[in-house]
Amino acid sequence: MFLSTLASKPTVMIRLIFSTIAGTFFLCATFIALLTVPFFQNQGIYLNSIRLTWFQDVAVPEQWGFMHNQVTPFTLQTPDGEILHAWHILPLGLYLLYETELLDEPSGIVPDVTKSLGFKILREDPEALLVLYFHGAAGTLGSGWRPPSYRAMSATSPNKIHTIAIDYRGFGASTGRPTEEGLLLDALTLAEFALKDANIPPSRIAIFGQSLGTAVGISLAHHMATRPTNPILFSGMVLVAPFADVELLIASYRVAGMIPLLDPLARFPRLMALLNSYILSRWPSKDKLAEYLRHIEAGKRGDEAKYHIEIIHAEDDYDIPWSHSDKVFWHAVNATSHVGTSFEDLETYKLDARRDMGAGGWVVECFTQRGLVREEIVKYGLHDRIMSYPVVSRAVSRALRVEVLSGTVIAHDPDCH
Ligand SMILES: *[C@@H]1O[C@H](CO)[C@@H](O)[C@H](O)[C@H]1NC(C)=O
């Protein structure tokens, strides 16, 4: 009796340890195996079947706290025949100015958006500013912190800043299935609509993206700036909670923000490379952003060409760790110099050059000949909530050049090298 108790205790312990190891291994193996299946991989990246706004009609924006007819729901057709659902959100100041007429407008999805009053207000104001809004993975136009975020876009200029947001293909009521090329085509469709139908010059347009939307926004800016015919530069870009690329995103993925599933695999670079060869959507944001900046930097001196990039991330973001913003920032800054900068050197430089704002986080700005790259890390804001915060409103106003930039120079060394 006495002997058997003694013997069983270590056995239980060993069994427990063994089953924990086996369980973890099984979890990792399943996760990795699922990642190689395109269907699960796409679900993991886009999460587009998770609607979040179940049983709610995106044609009724009042459900998400907008004034009656403040938002015009409409559809856009892509060159490859998909139908995208979109919202044109009037800033509150303009809404109040035209309230009586807006209340008389028909509600629901308008058959021809160019005939809507909201659209006319946008097209006919020579000072109107426009945000092209690219949301993150999962959900629809109306889910989570997106509606408050649309309202944050215009907080600094409620009489000027319009927002147009789309549900990408396969999201919400939009047709089709998401792919990397497809989402770029969706973004291009929105951009062409803004430039051609609404007739807004690119200098009055900014791109806003959050999470997956940052990859779409960078991809759009890159495509339009580097295309051989009729290249176009928008006024600026606001990137909230970006990721460097899908490969690095998967490597940094943590279950519930804590358990790094791929950490064991990262020790075997060949296995990691094998896994990466299965990834269909790469979204190489860090490289595309660098290419975009190199392209502008290489332009002829005296060109008007300018860029303005605002990178914002919260320290308590456990969906995408803010270290991704450091990487994106580094690739951007590195691309603006001929000699290049190592990640470590830039980090050391930042420690010295950044403005510390205590519980508000910190910010560092790099002015170059051609524009500005700015990284702002706030302490609080999680992954989604942050996009409705004043830091984002201010970043949008700066990207649209509403806020005068002189006097805000923080970097001692003007180009951060
Ligand atoms: C940084 O810039 C230099 C010089 O243009 C380039 O050779 C290098 O590949 C860049 N580094 C990264 C990580 O992109």
Task: Per residue of the chain (417 residues), give pLDDT as tens.
Answer: 445 555 566 688 888 888 888 887 787 778 777 777 777 778 778 988 888 878 889 999 999 999 999 999 999 999 999 999 999 999 999 999 999 999 999 999 999 999 999 999 999 999 999 999 999 999 999 999 999 999 999 999 999 999 999 999 999 999 999 999 999 999 999 999 999 999 999 999 999 999 999 999 999 999 999 999 999 999 999 999 999 999 898 888 776 667 776 777 777 888 878 877 888 889 999 999 999 999 999 886 556 668 999 999 999 998 999 999 999 999 999 999 888 999 999 999 999 999 999 999 999 999 887 899 999 999 999 999 999 999 999 999 999 988 755 434 444 355 576
**Domain definitions of the chain by residue range:** 46-416
Q: How far is the CA of 341 from the centre of ligand 1 (A)?
A: 7
Contact 212, 206 (CB under 8 A): no
Going from the Cα of 334 to the center of ligand 1, the distance in angstroms, rounded, reads 6
Query: In the Cβ-directed half-sphere of 397, how many Cα atoms lie within 13 Å?
Result: 18
Residue with the smallest CA separation from ligand 1 atom 13 is 331
* Atom 6 in ligand 1: residue holding the nearest Cα: 340
Q: Whose CA is nearest to atom 2 of ligand 1?
A: 340
Task: List the residue whose alpha carbon is closest to atom 4 of ligand 1.
Answer: 340
C-alpha 286 to ligand 1 mean position (Å): 12
In a 10 Å sphere around its CB, with 0-12 CB exposed, 13-18 middle and 19+ buried, how is residue 215 labelled?
buried
Residue 168 gets the label, from left (phi > 0), alpha (psi -120 to 50) or beta, of beta
Report the separation in Å between the CA atom of 262 and the middle of ligand 1, taken as the mean of its atom positions. 27
Pocket of ligand 1 (CB under 6 A): 290, 331, 334, 340
| Residue 197 to residue 199: CA distance in whole angstroms | 5
The dihedral sign for the CA sequence 98, 104, 110, 112: negative
CA-based torsion, 311, 314, 315, 318: positive or negative: negative
Atom of ligand 1 nearest to the CA of 294: 5
Give yes or no for a contact between 169 and 175, defined as CB atoms under 8 angstroms apart.
Answer: yes
What CATH number should be reported for the domain whose range is 46-416? Answer: 3.40.50.1820
Residue 405 near residue 356 (C-beta atoms within 8 A): no
The number of the ligand 1 atom at minimal distance from the alpha carbon of 331 is 14
Closest residue by CA, ligand 1 atom 8: 340
Q: What is the pTM of this model?
A: 0.91
For ligand 1, the distance from its centroid to the CA atom of residue 366, given in whole angstroms, is 17
Cα of 332 vs centre of ligand 1, distance in Å, is 10
How far is the centre of ligand 1, averaged over its atoms, from the C-alpha of 298 (Å)?
15
Shortest-distance atom of ligand 1 to CA 290: 14
Which residue, judged by its Cα, is nearest atom 12 of ligand 1?
331
